[in-house]
Every structure is written in C-alpha cells, then in structure tokens.
C-alpha cells in the first residue's frame, strides 16, 4: 500500500474505494534457520513498510515478552525497578510561578481519577517496558478541567505520522475491539492545526481522527519511526539465555549430588550375585554394614568432568548489565571493585538515569501545559508560551546524595582566589561571582551573577547605614554635612551632563 492509499484508508468509510482481493500466501517462518541450534526469544524483528519500525506482530510480541520478563526474570525486574527507585522514590511535584495556574495544576495532579502521586510509578514502569504511553484526554465542558484515560499500547494498531513531516505523529489508530469497533484519535499538539500543519495534514486530522484526542509519548525510536521500543528489547534473548543457563546449572548440581552403592562380590558366581541382590539393603545413616573379605561396598558419585561455570555466568550476566549501562557490583558481582572505583563506575549509569529523568520531566510538563491550555480555551484567555506564568516545571528528586565535602573545599579555594584577583585589579566583581556560581551549582544553587551582585551591593549598603546609625561614637552633624555635600555634587554632575 502506498502512502497516499494509506492516508485515504483513514478517511470515513464512504470515501474509501472498494478493496481489491489480495492473494493468500503462506507466512514466512518467524525464527529463521531451524538448524542454528538455538531459538531467539524475541523472534524475527524484520521491519514492516516503514523500516524504522518492527513488524506489527513483532511489536506486540516485544510488549508481551517485556511484561513476561519483568515478572519472571530477576535481572529484568531489577533493570526495570532500580531506575524507578532513583527517579521517583522521593516523589514528584508540579510547580508554576502563577498562583492561579498552580492551583489548576494541583487540582489536576491530585484529582481522584488522574491521581498522579499514586499512579506515576506504574505509568513510568509501563513506559520503560512497552516503550510507549498513550493517554486519552477528557476535557470537561465549562471549566476545561482535564482527566486522562489510559490507552494500553498493546491496543494500538498504528501510529500515523505527518506525511509532510514524518517526525511528527498526528494520529493513533487502535485495534478492533470485541465489537469490531476501531477508534481513531488525534494526537494532541499544543497549538492551532491551521498554523502548525499543512492544509492536507490539517484536513486528515480533522476528518480521519474524530474519536477524540490523545497524548502520545514514545521511547527508543528513530525520528521518523512511528512506534516506541522497550528498554529490554536488546536484552531479551540474553536474559532468557541467562535463566536457561541457571536452570541447567541446577540440573547439573542435582546430578553431582547423586550417588549409587557399588557392591563387589569376589569369587561369586552369577546365581550368588542374584541371590545377594535380592536380600541386599542399602545401609542407613549411622548404621553398620557387616561383611567378609569377599564383599566390598563403595558409594560412587558421578564425575561429569564439568569445569567451574561461575566465569561463564559472569560473562553472560555482564553482557546483559553492560547493555543496560549498569555496573556489575550493583548485582552482587563485586569482582576487583573497591569503593573508589565503584563510585566512578556508577557515573555512566546516573547519566543514563538523568537522561530518562529529563524525558519524564518534559513529558509531565507537556501535560501540565495542556491542562493550562484547555482551561484557557474554555475561559477565553490568550496563551503566551513566552510568558513565564504559562510555564510549569516538574520537580524530581536528586538522583544521588552528593558528597559535598570536596565541593565545599573547592568553594573555599575559589572564593579566596577571586578575592585576591579583585584586590589586584585583575578581575571584575561580576566575573568573580560567575566563577563562584559555577561551583555553587554543584550544591544545587543556581543564580544569575549580575542580579546577585546588584542585590548584594544594595544589601551591603543598607547594612552599612544601619551599622553607622547604631554607632554611639558617631558624629551626626558630620554625617549630615557629608550627605548634603554628596547630594550637591550629584546635582552638579547632573547639570554638567545636561550642558
């Protein structure tokens, strides 16, 4: 099907041409070479008509396997839950500088249906496992209050991108439900379709996607791809292989623990051996076995000549952990890692978590802006996205409790150095404060050096005046004369400037 035919198929049924009968062909094997000796858990991930996406069946299989591995595979579960603990453990809040908008966000955040404090954890977990989150928007008439309904990514049949800009999704088409009904939702874009899209794209959105609006968020996709991918997609086969390896080790350990009694009868004919076999009873623990020199009893255990497999297990486990950018010592495999090395090895992991936190932050802020926009459209307000009061901020907990002792030492050294440079006339106060601000950011303090310098000067001047007024040994008459002289000089300067 061509691109034009695909978009025509989205239009109402009366505008669709009669479908042509398609030839029936046998489906190709999904697992490839059957003689390879092993079978990939994730199967064949060949591309569909868009080579940036998985085939529809592969997409659905990926989502099912991600949920299955999270429930049954210990490493997959930890790779999913560990980021959640760092990202969300202390809670998330939505903030806005405008009091009215802050109340709107608070009401939306804590609404019994939206209930973000309760549902955020499971929503972020599903986002990582399935690679997508889709929310049906329900805007209440009268006040524009927004409630979100969850659309399971496994119910999505197609995500439609703008034909003129394949990076921008414009609609979501669901699979048919039990009644044969298929829903077509318009993807929320914060603005007017006539201004944001071409005439043809705006027409498609208006005529084809008429069942409501959704907010769509996707992970691990190409810019012109249409579907998100699970965080576990690359590790699925290896996670399954690691589980299979451990179960095989359990079987081997069971075999190694087994033994048999070997009875040797010297000089006995077959008939005597058979008779003894019928009467022989294996000795119980702490019992006696009485025999003559013609009978020898030994316990025989299997010798499988199997080497220690701990190194093989470590290689396989580290292959999975390395693909997830997680250090080995986080999963009990300390190796030769000491405290100093462990601290440095965690930095790439926290960078990955910080990047995911940034995505979640932008996702929640996009929702917050939609809440404000929906209310504004209902009340007739004009939205100015450049105005700070229309912006909202999702505040996440710090990923790591920082060791601030080294930063404190650096702050002391920097402050001493910039004071010496200022006194020597080699640096301006503003530049010096910018240098100090760079170190202060490590403490979580972010400020503008120029604004801070002006405020500090005013505060220092006020403090000096207060100190002078409280000085009992001061000379009030001299202070008054000095102030009058200062005002007179200022007036002369203004007059000279005017001339």
Q: Tell me the three-class secondary structure of 264-317, residue by residue.
A: EECCCCHHHHHHHHHHCCCCCCCCCCCCCCCEEEEEECCCCCCCCCHHHHHHHH
Strands 93-95 and 132-139, by their bridges, are unpaired
Return the SS3 of 402: coil
Long-range CB pairs of 348-357 (<8 Å, 24+ gap) are 349/325, 350/86, 350/399, 350/400, 352/325, 353/83, 353/86, 353/87, 353/399, 354/399, 356/83, 356/87, 356/128, 357/87, 357/396, 357/399
Q: CA–CA separation, 56 vs 489, rounded Å?
A: 82
> 307: Cβ–Cβ under 8 A, 6 or more apart, which residues?
none
Q: Rounded to the nearest 5°, which phi and psi values hold at 399? A: -70, -30
Q: Which helix (H) or strand (E) holds 378?
A: helix 347-379
pLDDT score recorded for residue 170: 94
| % helix, strand, coil for the chain, step of 5 | 50, 10, 35
Give the global pTM.
0.68
Cβ-contact 73, 244 below 8 angstroms = no
pLDDT at 199: 92
The burial class, CB within 10 Å (0-12 / 13-18 / 19+), for 291 is exposed
Residue pair 169/352 in contact (Cβ under 8 Å)? The answer is no
Per-residue pLDDT of the chain (499 residues; tens, 9 = 90+): 555 555 556 665 554 444 455 544 444 334 444 444 555 666 554 444 456 677 777 888 999 999 999 999 988 999 999 889 888 888 899 999 999 999 999 999 999 999 999 999 999 999 999 999 999 999 998 889 999 999 999 999 999 999 989 999 999 999 998 888 999 999 999 988 889 999 999 999 999 999 999 999 999 988 888 899 999 988 888 888 888 888 888 877 777 777 788 888 888 888 888 888 888 888 888 888 888 888 888 887 776 655 567 778 888 888 888 888 888 777 766 665 555 555 556 678 888 888 999 999 999 999 999 999 999 999 888 888 888 889 999 998 887 666 566 667 777 888 888 888 888 888 888 888 888 888 877 666 777 888 888 888 888 888 888 877 776 555 566 666 777 777 777 776 666 656 5
Amino acid 212: pLDDT? 93
**Mean pLDDT for all residues in the chain:** 81
Paired residues of 134 in beta bridges: 151, 216
Structure tokens at 320: 């999975």
Task: Give pLDDT, residue 111.
Answer: 94
Q: What is the pLDDT of residue 360?
A: 94
Residue 44, pLDDT score? 52
Q: What is the pLDDT of residue 9?
A: 62
Strand order in the sheet with 132-139: 146-151, 132-139, 213-218, 184-187, 165-174, 156-162
What are the residue boundaries of the structural domains of the chain, listed by start?
A: 3-17+39-232, 405-498
Separation between Cα atoms, residue 328 and residue 272, nearest integer Å: 61
The pLDDT, as a whole number, for residue 31 is 40
Q: How many CB atoms lie within 10 A of CB 227?
A: 25
């Amino acid at each position: 099907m061509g691109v034009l035919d695909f978009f025509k198929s989205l239009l109402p049924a009366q505008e669709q041409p009669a479908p042509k009968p398609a030839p029936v062909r046998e489906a190709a094997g999904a697992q490839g070479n059957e003689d390879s000796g092993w079978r990939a858990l994730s199967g064949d991930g060949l591309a569909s008509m868009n080579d940036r996406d998985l085939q529809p069946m592969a997409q659905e299989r990926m989502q099912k396997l991600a949920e299955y591995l999270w429930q049954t595979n210990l490493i997959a579960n930890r790779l999913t839950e560990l980021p959640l603990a760092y990202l969300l453990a202390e809670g998330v809040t939505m903030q806005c500088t405008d009091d009215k908008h802050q109340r709107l966000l608070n009401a939306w955040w804590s609404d019994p249906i939206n209930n973000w404090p309760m549902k955020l954890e499971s929503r972020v977990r599903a986002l990582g496992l399935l690679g997508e989150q889709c929310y049906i928007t329900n805007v209440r008439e009268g006040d524009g209050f927004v409630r979100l309904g969850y659309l399971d990514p496994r119910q999505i049949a197609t995500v439609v991108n703008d034909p003129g800009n394949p990076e921008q999704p414009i609609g979501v088409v669901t699979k048919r439900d039990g009644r044969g009904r298929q829903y077509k939702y318009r993807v929320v874009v914060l603005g007017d379709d006539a201004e944001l899209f071409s005439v043809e794209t705006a027409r498609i959105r208006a005529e084809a996607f008429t069942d409501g609006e959704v907010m769509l968020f996707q992970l691990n996709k190409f810019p012109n791809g249409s579907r998100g991918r699970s965080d576990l997609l690359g590790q699925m086969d290896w996670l399954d292989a690691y589980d299979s390896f451990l179960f095989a080790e359990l079987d081997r350990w069971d075999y190694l623990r087994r033994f048999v009694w070997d009875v040797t009868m010297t000089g006995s004919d077959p008939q005597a051996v058979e008779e003894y076999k019928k009467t022989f009873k294996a000795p119980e623990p702490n019992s006696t076995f009485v025999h003559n020199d013609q009978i020898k009893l030994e316990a025989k255990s299997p010798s499988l000549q199997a080497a220690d497999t701990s190194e093989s297990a470590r290689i396989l486990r580290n292959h999975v952990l390395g693909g997830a950018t997680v250090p080995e010592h986080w999963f009990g495999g300390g190796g030769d890692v000491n405290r100093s090395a462990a601290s440095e090895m965690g930095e790439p992991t926290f960078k990955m978590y910080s990047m995911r936190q940034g995505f979640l932050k932008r996702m929640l802020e996009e929702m917050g802006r939609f809440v404000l926009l929906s209310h504004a459209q209902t009340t007739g307000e004009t939205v100015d996205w450049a105005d700070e009061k229309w912006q909202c901020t999702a505040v996440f907990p710090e990923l790591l409790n920082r060791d601030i002792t080294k930063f404190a030492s650096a702050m002391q050294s920097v402050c001493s150095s910039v004071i010496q440079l200022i006194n020597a006339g080699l640096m301006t106060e503003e530049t010096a404060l910018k240098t100090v601000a760079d170190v202060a950011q490590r403490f979580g303090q972010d400020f503008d050096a120029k604004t801070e310098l002006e405020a500090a000067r005013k505060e220092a001047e006020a403090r000096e005046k207060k100190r002078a007024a409280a000085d009992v040994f001061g000379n009030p008459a001299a202070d008054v004369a000095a102030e009058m002289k200062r005002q007179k000089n200022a007036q002369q300067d203004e007059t000279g400037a005017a001339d």
